[in-house]
Structure 1
Amino acid sequence: MTEDIEQTAENTTVELGIEFCGEWFYPTPGQSFSIGRDADLVIDTNPYLHRRLLEIESAQDLWWLSNTGRSISVALATADGAYQAMLGPGTRVPLVFPELIVMFTAGAFTYEFTIRNDAARFTGRDAAGDGDDTDGGTTIGAVPLTVSQRQLLIALCEPILRGGMMGSSQIPTSAAAAQRLGWPLTTFNRKLDNVCDKFDREGVQGLRGGAGKLATNRRARLVEHAILSRLVTAADLPLLDEATKIAR
């Protein structure tokens, strides 16, 4: 009986894989698996990226994801965008979903990878229905956007939308996004403020300006939220081209 119990516990922690840029990585139960600039999974040599930002390990019959960085928060979401969570420095969450998309920003670049867990115990729908957000998670409702607000989001997310979530993308500057839309920079910044205020009122973290909150960080958080909650997808790209035509 004891051997059966031990075998069951072992099976629940083996079936976990990480996909980054089309390559798969498989953490070993009982060993820590690090992710960062100088880690088991090397994301990039970007100097703004921590040497070890994330750590995956098995404990208590579960896989856990820990943020071991000092200043970078990490966004998590189920594949359907129904569940999101922010993993701040020094915190950890159990990996209980079949698929989890992980996104974070270091400097001007946003990175993403996917964690797949065959032994997952929940689905995004399960999490959305229980109303428990003690781990920083939240369910995403429909947020009404004007056409120009949606175009702004698409312009900021365009590199990721065209790249198909393939590892890393550079977030456009406000000037570059404004030029892409054919808007004056002042118009773009005003609309960016409005969009950020709207999502801030809905409880999205990291969009409120203030001391230590640079515009780059705000745009990055907006991109993370828009992509992970599927507010914009590649199917929305023609709307961006329409904005450019109108501006001309």
Structure 2
Amino acid sequence: MTPPATDQLSVEFAGEEFEVAPDQVFTVGREGDLAIDDNLFLHRNFLTIQNVEGLWLLSNVGTRLSATVTDTGGRVQAWLAPGARLPLVFAATTVVFSAGPTTYELTIHAAEPTFRETQPPLDDDDDGLSTIGEVPLTHSQKVMILALAEPVLRREGTGMSELPTSAQAAERLGWTLTRFNRKLDNVCDKLDRSGVPGLRGGVRSYATNRRVRLVEHAMSARLVTRDDLPLLDLEKENSHAMNGEDDA
């Protein structure tokens, strides 16, 4: 059955919008319909979007990288591993992924979404946390995540961001690198125990990828938001008054 002509998608990335027709296989990667940039860590063909019998599907056709997929309200989250695919049922779906130190975000808009809101969304002023595997964070754990996610949070709209190194994030907070890495260990362990994928693996994988995976999850699950950014300057101001005490 041929899908109706009105059943179209658009992909928003870095201020540009790409229309996807129902009979098209739209490709995201270093090459393809959305050629992101010359990042050698990114697959030439990473994600595809296509309409199969009236249902839009997002597929990971890469071999190494994964993506975090959420509705824009942060209520539903999925991890799209290599070889996996997901139906695009929301009016707007956010896709976040990392290749090397760079994190990318794009939004997929559906003209005729399968799923529609049946009740108003929760008030954004409740606690700033998503209900997706909600994990309580201490203040210092939250500002640690903020220091890593700051470039993404300060970015306007979708696009790409270079994440800071652990040393740069520690300096942003006025912390020692040892303290920062201890907090990073604590948060990754906590989220791993709650079922968040991608924060553990082999020793090499854990050391290399946990920062970018943590930012992906934090952004998708709304563990931190742009409204939290003033906490970074406050933390740096207060760090000199700390006497080695910790709340983790």
> Normalised by the size of structure 1, how large is the TM-score?
0.87
Matches within 5 A, 1:39-188: 39-123=32-116, 140-188=132-180
Please say if residues 154 and 237 of structure 1, whose CA atoms lie closer than 8 Å, have aligned partners that are also in contact. Answer: yes
CA shift digits 1:191-217 (9 cap, x unpaired):
100011111111101112534414231
Task: Report the 3-state secondary structure (helix = DSSP H, G, I; strand = E; otherwise coil) of the residue aligned with 1:26.
Answer: strand
Task: Report the 3-state secondary structure (helix = DSSP H, G, I; strand = E; otherwise coil) of the residue aligned with 1:90.
Answer: coil
Which segments of 5 or more consecutive residues in structure 2 lack a partner in the other structure? Answer: 120-129, 241-248
* CA apart distance, 1:165: 4.0
Given residue 192 of structure 2, which amino acid in structure 1 is its aligned partner? D
Q: Does 1:215 align with 2:207?
A: yes
Aligned pairs, how many?
Answer: 231
* CA apart distance, 1:164: 2.9
* CA apart distance, 1:13: 2.8
CA shift digits 1:220-244 (9 cap, x unpaired):
1100111111111110011111111
> Normalised by the size of structure 2, how large is the TM-score?
0.87
After the TM superposition, which segments of 4 or more aligned residues of structure 1 sit over 6 Å from their partners?
Answer: none
- Identity percentage of aligned residues: 52
Seen in structure 2, the aligned counterparts of structure 1 residues 123 and 200 have a Cα distance that, compared at 3 Å, is: farther
Please say if residues 108 and 171 of structure 1, whose CA atoms lie closer than 8 Å, have aligned partners that are also in contact. Answer: yes
Seen in structure 2, the aligned counterparts of structure 1 residues 239 and 125 have a Cα distance that, compared at 3 Å, is: farther
Q: 1:13 aligns with which of 7, 31, 51?
A: 7
Matches of 1:161 and 1:96 in 2, distance apart? Answer: 26
Seen in structure 2, the aligned counterparts of structure 1 residues 120 and 72 have a Cα distance that, compared at 3 Å, is: same
Seen in structure 2, the aligned counterparts of structure 1 residues 167 and 125 have a Cα distance that, compared at 3 Å, is: farther
Please say if residues 84 and 139 of structure 1, whose CA atoms lie closer than 8 Å, have aligned partners that are also in contact. Answer: no
Matches of 2:141 and 2:148 in 1, distance apart? Answer: 11
Corresponding residue for 1:200? 192
Which segments of 5 or more consecutive residues in structure 1 lack a partner in the other structure? Answer: 127-137
* CA apart distance, 1:42: 0.9
* CA apart distance, 1:93: 1.0
* CA apart distance, 1:118: 2.0
Which range moves more in the overlay, 151-160 or 116-125?
A: 116-125
Matches of 1:34 and 1:176 in 2, distance apart? Answer: 34
Seen in structure 2, the aligned counterparts of structure 1 residues 124 and 53 have a Cα distance that, compared at 3 Å, is: farther
Which range moves more in the overlay, 200-209 or 230-239?
A: 200-209
Matches of 2:73 and 2:144 in 1, distance apart? Answer: 22
Matches of 1:123 and 1:110 in 2, distance apart? Answer: 29
Matches of 2:133 and 2:62 in 1, distance apart? Answer: 30
Please say if residues 49 and 59 of structure 2, whose CA atoms lie closer than 8 Å, have aligned partners that are also in contact. Answer: yes
Q: Which structure's residues are more often helix, by fraction?
A: 1
* CA apart distance, 1:20: 0.5
Alpha-carbon RMSD:
2.0
Task: Report the 3-state secondary structure (helix = DSSP H, G, I; strand = E; otherwise coil) of the residue aligned with 2:103.
Answer: strand
